[in-house]
């Protein structure tokens, strides 16, 4: 009976370890899906679509005015442009740069009143920052330029050597429902799996504590020995006494 109890305890421990492994696997799968959602969003924003333009300019070119391009843009096709810049120092801490979209003849299509970047919204003077914007051209398909010109501020000597503005354009990017539906599905499923795994693990630990007299989460082994029947013990004693009496009687007869 002791062996049966030990076998049952071993089977219970194996079952416990199997359950814990499955719960851990569910939690890791949920975490992997959450990370996959973040990776999908990062890829969609930074690397989806095709790269149409990538250029950089110096501080002198930025202050004089520089046109990035030409870049071939299709009408109605969703794209994203990225601007990475180290901006000039300004007395009031606010810089203003003119940003225009020009056609193949270098004539403004969107003037500075329509497209204008202000430092207080996007960039900090004297430090490198980056913005990423989505756009869609409502003009006819063709070649276009993106013109930048600094209107205020002065670059320090150590900032004039390296490029101060890097500009890139990607077209045909993942956006809208194609971006957010996979992201939401991956994130939601990952959160559900991780939450359910943690909840089940807590419930399982609670059941173990309730069933353990020592409170350590594991049942202590119990060894039970069969009790000797009182009648059998009494019967053996009576037979022993009767055997002794018979032996004594035989000795007297002899």
Least confident span in 1-15, 66-80, 163-177: 1-15
pLDDT at 54: 94
CB 148 within 8 A of CB 167: yes
* Third-level CATH fold of 49-173: Jelly Rolls (2.60.120)
Q: What is the CA radius of gyration of the chain?
A: 41
pLDDT at 170: 94
CB 37 within 8 A of CB 179: no
pLDDT band at 168 (very low <50, low <70, confident <90, very high): very high
Nearby residues of 177 by Cβ (< 8 Å), 6 or more positions away? none
Q: Is the pLDDT of residue 221 over 80?
A: no
Q: Is the pLDDT of residue 239 over 50?
A: no
- What is the C-alpha separation between 112 and 102, in angstroms, rounded? 11
pLDDT at 232: 47
This prediction's pTM: 0.67
pLDDT band at 165 (very low <50, low <70, confident <90, very high): confident
Q: What is the mean pLDDT of residues 70-75?
A: 91
Q: What is the mean pLDDT of residues 32-54?
A: 95
Q: Is the pLDDT of residue 253 over 50?
A: no
**What residue spans of the chain are helical by DSSP H?**
2-46, 59-64, 157-160, 177-210, 230-253
Strand order in the sheet with 128-136: 50-57, 165-171, 78-86, 128-136
> How wide is the angle at C-alpha 78 spanned by C-alphas 187 and 133, nearest 5°?
70
Nearby residues of 109 by Cβ (< 8 Å), 6 or more positions away? 100, 101, 102, 103, 139, 144
- What is the C-alpha separation between 215 and 201, in angstroms, rounded? 17
pLDDT band at 32 (very low <50, low <70, confident <90, very high): very high
């Amino acid at each position: 009976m002791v062996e049966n109890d030990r076998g049952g305890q071993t089977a219970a421990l194996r079952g416990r370890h199997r359950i814990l492994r499955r719960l851990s696997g569910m939690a890791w799968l949920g975490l992997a899906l959450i990370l996959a959602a973040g990776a999908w969003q990062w890829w969609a924003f930074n690397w989806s679509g095709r790269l149409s333009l990538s250029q950089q300019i110096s501080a002198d070119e930025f202050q004089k005015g520089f046109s990035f391009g030409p870049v071939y843009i299709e009408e109605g096709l969703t794209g994203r442009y990225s601007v990475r810049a180290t901006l000039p120092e300004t007395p009031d801490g606010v810089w203003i740069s003119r940003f225009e979209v020009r056609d193949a003849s270098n004539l403004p299509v969107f003037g500075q009143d329509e497209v204008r970047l202000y430092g207080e919204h996007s960039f900090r003077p004297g430090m490198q920052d980056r913005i990423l914007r989505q756009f869609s051209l409502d003009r006819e398909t063709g070649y276009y330029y993106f013109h930048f010109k600094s209107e205020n501020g002065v670059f320090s000597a150590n900032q004039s050597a390296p490029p101060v503005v890097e500009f890139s354009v990607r077209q045909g990017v993942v956006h809208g429902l194609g971006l957010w539906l996979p992201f939401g599905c991956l994130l939601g499923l990952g959160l559900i799996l991780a939450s359910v795994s943690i909840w089940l693990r807590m419930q399982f630990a609670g059941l173990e504590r309730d069933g353990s007299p020592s409170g350590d989460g594991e049942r202590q082994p119990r060894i039970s020995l069969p009790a000797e029947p009182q009648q059998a013990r009494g019967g053996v004693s009576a037979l022993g006494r009767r055997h002794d009496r018979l032996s004594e009687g035989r000795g007297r007869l002899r």
